[in-house]
Amino acid sequence: MRVIAGTAKGRQLKSPPASTRPIMDRVKENLFNILGTDVIDATVLDLYAGAGSVGIEALSRGAKHATFVELNDEARRTIQTNLKLTKLAPRATVLSANVYRYLKKPPAAPFDIIYVAPPQYKEMWQETMKLLDARPQWLSEEGILIVQIHPVEFEELPLQSFDLTDRRKYGSTMLCFYEKTASDSEHVE
C-alpha cells in the first residue's frame, strides 16, 4: 500500500490491522483518475478510514483537509502513523467515533468528497447511506459521495437526497458514485 501521486508520491503506508480491508492501489488509482482535479482544495471525509489510504491520497493530491473517522484503536493509530510518514498530519483530523453516531450530528461544514468503506457483508453501507440521505448537509452542493463495497453487496437504495451517477467494478471491489439530487427548483426553466 502506497501513495500513488502528489506530494507524498511513492511513500509506503503502514498496513492496517487485519480487521480492515485496505483499498487496492489499482482501485485507488482509478478512483483518483475519476475524481481528477475535483480533489484539489477539497475537504474530504473518510468514513471507516482503516489505514487512511484514501484520505491520505487526497491530501497528497492537493485536498485542503481530510477528516478520518475510525473506531478501531489500532487502525486509528495506523492512520496517525501514516499521516506522520507522509508529513500530511497538519491538514488532517483523526476522530475516534462510531460512524453512525457521528453522522447523526449536524456537520460543522459540508464536505466536498465523502468516502464510505465499511466492513463488508454487514449491510453497514446501506445504513450509512440512509443516515447521509437524512442529513444531506454533510455533502457540499457540488460534492461527490463514493461507497466502496463488494459487488455482491450492491443494491439500489431508495434515496431522496442522492442519485447514483456511476458504478465501477474492479474485481472484488465496486465503487458507487453518488451526487446530490437536483432540487425541484433547479428544474424550473
pLDDT at 26: 86
3 state SS of 21 = coil
The average pLDDT across 165-189 equals 79
Helices (H) and strands (E) in the chain, counts: 5, 7
- Reported confidence tier of residue 185, pLDDT bands at 50, 70, 90: very low
Nearest-Å Rg of the Cα atoms of the chain is 16
Range of the domain at 101: 25-187
> Is 67 a residue whose pLDDT tops 90?
yes
Q: 30 exposed, middle or buried (CB, 10 Å; 0-12, 13-18, 19+)?
A: middle
The per-residue pLDDT for range 126-168, each reduced to its tens digit, is 999 999 999 999 999 999 999 999 999 999 999 999 999 999 9
**Domain holding 171: CATH number?**
3.40.50.150
Q: All 3 cell numbers of residue 118?
A: 465499511
Q: Kindly tell me if the per-residue pLDDT of 111 is higher than 90.
A: yes
**Is 144 inside a domain boundary?**
yes
| Residue 47 lies inside a defined structural domain of this protein | yes
Is 179 within a domain? yes
**Would you say residue 5 lies in a domain?**
no
Confidence band of 187 (pLDDT split at 50, 70, 90): very low
Task: Check residue 20 and give its pLDDT.
Answer: 58
pLDDT tens, residue by residue, 12-59: 777 766 655 667 878 989 999 999 999 999 999 999 998 899 999 999
Residue 11 lies in a domain: no
Q: What confidence score (pLDDT) does residue 181 get? A: 93
For residue 19, being part of any structural domain is answered with no
Residue 49 lies in a domain: yes
Question: How high is the pLDDT of residue 2?
Answer: 66
Q: Provide the b/e sequence for 43-60 (b: ≥16 CB within 10 Å).
A: bbbbbbbbbbbbbbbbbb
Q: Is residue 16 part of a domain?
A: no
Rounded Cα distance between 182 and 189, Å, is: 14
What is the number of structural domains in the chain? 1
Q: What is the pLDDT of residue 83?
A: 95
Beta strands in the chain (DSSP E): 43-47, 65-69, 92-95, 111-116, 139-149, 162-170, 173-180
